[in-house]
Structure 1
Amino acid sequence: MAKLDRELYETELVRLQLELVKVQEWVRASGERVVVLFEGRDAAGKGGAIKRVTEFLNPRVARIVALPAPTDRQRTRWYFQRYVEHLPSAGEIVLFDRSWYNRAGVERVMKFCTEQEYQRFLHQCPIFERLLVEDGILLRKYWFSVSDKEQERRFRDRLKDPMRRWKLSPMDVESISRWEQYSQAKDEMFGHTDITEAPWYVVDAEDKRRARINMIAHLLSTLPYTEVKQPEIKLPKRPKSTGYQRMPREKQTEVPDHAAAL
């Protein structure tokens, strides 16, 4: 499949992002709660998609949750507990950059959880998600799919790019040699958690531009949002000066003009 033309991509992305702003205002006005899960292979483009979704949104309304590895104390709790505290209140959107599905993926493959913990997750996860939906949360789950060749190509690009080198972790490298194990884990996860109340939506992410456009367009199509009329705002006239004198610049510590040396 050919890459989506950049100009076409950028034009459509702006249009979709305008719709996302409308979604934000609808969520805020209606008190809806939206949860979007971003899952998939390492280097499949989840982070890039999240960036484009939130680029023009108010961070007080749309929050990104990317949790680190659990602490020793958190490991003693009910598995879903640390995710529950990040769920949205009325008028909020929460985007999970990886979510409770860590247990069905990396924890399963890397043996970070026991077989009993894994089986308990497969049993409880559909129940947990049905409870969220039953309570009124709009839950959307996206799986970003990429081929082994494209994943390796992206890994190699990261190795050569000092600005993105941090994105390549030892766990990412490990995923190359465990490709089939991750595939089997994903298939088993889908078999248990692709439920009617909260289905999985697969995003073909071989082309990042196409993946972002497709994912955002689909998300918009699943939300019953309407455009909220914004109150008219008029800027007041600036009042006349009362004689205030600005502090002399030499009494302030200013940032050096680095730009002047360019």
Structure 2
Amino acid sequence: MIRMKTALVTGASSGIGAATARQLAAAGYRVICAARRAERIATLADEIGGAAVVCDITSDADVARLAEAVGDRLDVLVNNAGGALGQEPVAEADLDKWAAMIATNTVGTARVTKALLPALIAAEGVVVFVTSMAADAGYEGGAGYCAAKAGERAVVESLRLELFDQPVRITEIAPGMVRTDEFALTRFDGDRERADKVYAGVAEPLLAEDVADAIVFMATRPKHVNIDRLAIRPRAQAAMHKVHRTAVS
């Protein structure tokens, strides 16, 4: 009997995570949707024929329950949970927000990966870390988020070296400007006007589905192929600091 492959997506309640869960399910995977918001992931799991596990990746107990739900084998882990909080300069930094970003993007991601590595190795699986172009360099107002994502990248790079002789692939996707329902809104504490300004005049930012499509491509390569890092951004974004915007009336 052919075993149905299993994928786990963290942060699956919205945005890139939800889009990735849907596309992995369409590609034939049984998808475990993990996030803090129970109702959202339950609805998504019902839609795609998967399973929902409520999990805060900053909690040892939650991640232990997640590993128990996964079992002995896991083919794909998409480390997507994380996010940005605030955009103040260092001189005005809310360090509690910095700590929260590092706790999720860096430490939380490492916690999940550590717990699930045995199942991934057993299945000769693949881990896709969703970092950000913010890991490439700092920008004004981005120090805390850049630090958190650079820390996550350090986990990726170290893990790949540590597991070079194991049958598991360690990959990273670094998105640029992606317009989702919640990312910028969460960053600016629900301030819709500030959130909308992030994308003002940009005709075609990336969508969650664009990033999900790339993640599924990375996860479904032959087992000897490792996409170390894939940078993805809209055509309008030449660099973090250079984005083509049309006049906004």
What TM-score bracket applies, with the shorter chain setting the length?
0.3 to 0.5
Structure 1-normalised TM-score? 0.40
Larger Cα-atom Rg: 1
More strand by share: 2
Give the TM-score, by structure 2 length.
0.42
